[in-house]
Every structure is written in structure tokens, then in C-alpha cells.
Structure 1
Amino acid sequence: MQGDETQHVVLGRLTSPHGVKGWLKVYSYTSPAQGIFDYPMWMLSMRGQRQSRRLLEARPQGKGLVVRLEGIDTRELAEQWAGAEVAVAKTALPELDSGEYYWHQLEGLEVETRDGVKLGRVDHLFETGANDVLVVRPFEGSLDDRERLLPFLPDDVIVQVDLADRSMIVDWDPSF
């Protein structure tokens, strides 16, 4: 199971049924939110259960999004999948330009300063109005036991990202 999970990336979650014909509301983590509609095969995961479902129809609905998935054609079936995570195969993600990264690629990278001071590992990222923020948590061998929030600003704070080496070099004062 672990090996299979590493082949997928979570792009959103199903929240609740919509209507009586099996439609579900979906909360998308993609930007723009409707980008989740670009993937025809979804891996649904909930309570240890995983199923692959084809996306049949999708549309904006009010301020949210709704979808109809293959094999879910009643409100009762939709209720069973409310709360499920929606993932797609990493191989289905489009190639990015040089210097662009998916968040899942940055998670787990060791972060150190230009001077070789180890600050920790990227635990996760979150979005703010101005820029994305890296949450860097300490690990054995890092400078101290402080969690740090670093703005993801390429060519300013982020000096180098090496996905093959699983490392990131930052221009950051370790006292912050």
C-alpha cells in the first residue's frame, strides 16, 4: 500500500452529496480549483479503502464544484464516499518548466543555508496571499529544534533546489 501511495498525489477531497443522482461536492487543492477536472481517473481513499473511479461529469456549482464519478449513481453511494481524498497518478501531472515545482516534490527536502547550516526538512507548504510558505521542521543533525516558516521566493530566499539530491539551499539567517 505504501508504495502505491507514493505513486499518487492528493488533489482534493469529496465533501458531501449533491442531489439524488450520485453527484458529489469536491474541494480542490489545485490552482485554479477547476484544474482538478483535468484528470479523468481519480483514486478515492477513505478509511483504508481505495478505489479508482473515472470522472464522468464536472462543473462549477455556486461557489463550489460538483462531480459525477463512474459507479456512483445514487445519493446513498455518494454518501459512502463523502470525505474521501481524491488523488491522481503522479505520472498524470503535466511537466513543469525549469524552476517550477509541485508542492509534493518539495516535501521532505533537507534545507540548509548557503553556509551549510542545516535548518531542517520541508514538512509541508501553505499558501498565503503574497506567496507560498515552507514549513521547515528540525531533524536529527539540524541546527536546533525550532520550526521555521520560510517564504518560497525563488531567486530571493530559495537559492537552489536539487530534487535528485533531496536538498534545498536557502539565503536565510538561522536566527530567524
Structure 2
Amino acid sequence: MDTEGRRILVGRVTGAFGLRGEVKLESWTEPRQAIFRYQPWILRDARGVERQVQGVRGRDDGKRVTAWFPEVADRDAAEAMRGLEILVPRSAFPPPAPGEFYWVDLEGLRVVNLEGVSFGTVSHLFATGANDVLVARDGGRERMIPFVRPQYITDIDFEKGVVTVDWDPEF
């Protein structure tokens, strides 16, 4: 799988916290505080302007994830960061164990059923209370397939770039 140069969206700044320049983060890593392991961060604003930062520290206190940026010293500077997206190079993640993978590595793979019918490509995955769900998009059509192996997701072949599913194309 080609991960060279890819950047992964792992969180965003949601606002200021306190008076000394701390910010609140929304982290999409598991566990939430793992976001601090993957640095440097690329911060992207709403206009698409990016800058790289390193040395961000933080904590998860159970209610929220908070962070300290080296160049942010007060609440006004922290508040100005609201809405920044946090991206990291895919190469910052440790390699998955044999037989394991990151969800993000499935994105863009072709999805076909057992009969060879194309469902498009993997758009993304998301968690629900019962099971995870793979979203395949083909033009304007979107299919949500329970990520249950091997019942519905029968094979993942990274070399061929294909996820094979046992799913009715009409569903």
C-alpha cells in the first residue's frame, strides 16, 4: 500500500481552554490522547493554508483533550486557532501488525461483491454501537456495508487494491 506523502486528518481545534493558551481538541485517534504521538502536525485553516508545528503537548482528562502549542501563550492566540484541522503524515503511524490495518488504508480501494459487481471505492468507515460500517461510493450511489468479517467483508487484498464483499448489489 502506498502511504508515501499521504496526510491523515486526525483531529481539529475546537476552541480555547483557560487563560494560558491551552486549546481544546477533537481527536479522532484511538485512544484520544494518541494524537500527541503522531507529530509533526500540519495545521490547516478553512482557506486551506497550512503550517507545520512540532512539540505539541497535551492530555485527556476524561472530559476533553487539551493541548499546548509552543507558540501559543494566551487565550486570544488560542481562540484564533479554533477550527484548525490537524493532519499528520501517514508515515507517522507505526506499521500495523501482520493481518491488521488502519481504516484509512482501506480508503480508495475498489469494492466488488462475490459475483464481481463493482460497488465503487471505499469512501470511509465509521463506528456504530453494533458494528463498524464500510461506505462504498460509486458516482452518486452510496452503499453502507456492515464491516463484519468474514460474513460480509470476505477479503481485503491490498496488493490488488480490492475489498470483496458478500452483499446484494440491489441493497
Deviates more, 1:81-90 or 1:161-170: 161-170
Q: 1:107 to 1:40 in 2, by over 3 A?
A: closer
SS at match of 2:91: helix
Instruction: State the one-letter code of the partner of 1:109.
Output: L
Q: Aligned partners of 1:164, 1:45: CA distance in 2, in Å?
A: 32
Q: Aligned partners of 1:24, 1:87: CA distance in 2, in Å?
A: 16
Answer yes or no: is 1:117 the counterpart of 2:121: no
* 1:51 match: 51
Contact map agreement 1:53 1:71 (CA 8 A) in 2:
no
SS at match of 2:80: helix
Q: Aligned partners of 1:56, 1:159: CA distance in 2, in Å?
A: 40
Shift of 1:6: 5.0
SS at match of 1:10: strand
Answer yes or no: is 1:126 the counterpart of 2:126: yes
Instruction: State the one-letter code of the partner of 1:131.
Output: N
* 1:173 match: 168
Instruction: State the one-letter code of the partner of 2:92.
Output: A
Shift of 1:167: 1.5
SS at match of 2:29: coil
* 1:83 match: 83
* 1:148 match: 143
* 1:39 match: 38
Q: 1:97 to 1:154 in 2, by over 3 A?
A: farther
Contact map agreement 2:5 2:89 (CA 8 A) in 1:
no
TM-score by length of 1: 0.86
Shift of 1:32: 1.4
Shift of 1:163: 2.3
Written as runs of structure 1 = structure 2, the 5 A alignment for 1:10-29 is: 10-29=9-28
RCO higher in 1 or 2 (8 Å CA, sep ≥ 6)?
2
Corresponding pairs, count: 167
SS at match of 2:71: coil
* 2:152 match: 157
State, as a whole percentage, how many aligned pairs show the same letter. 40
Instruction: State the one-letter code of the partner of 2:116.
Output: G
Structure 2: runs of 5+ lacking an equivalent: none
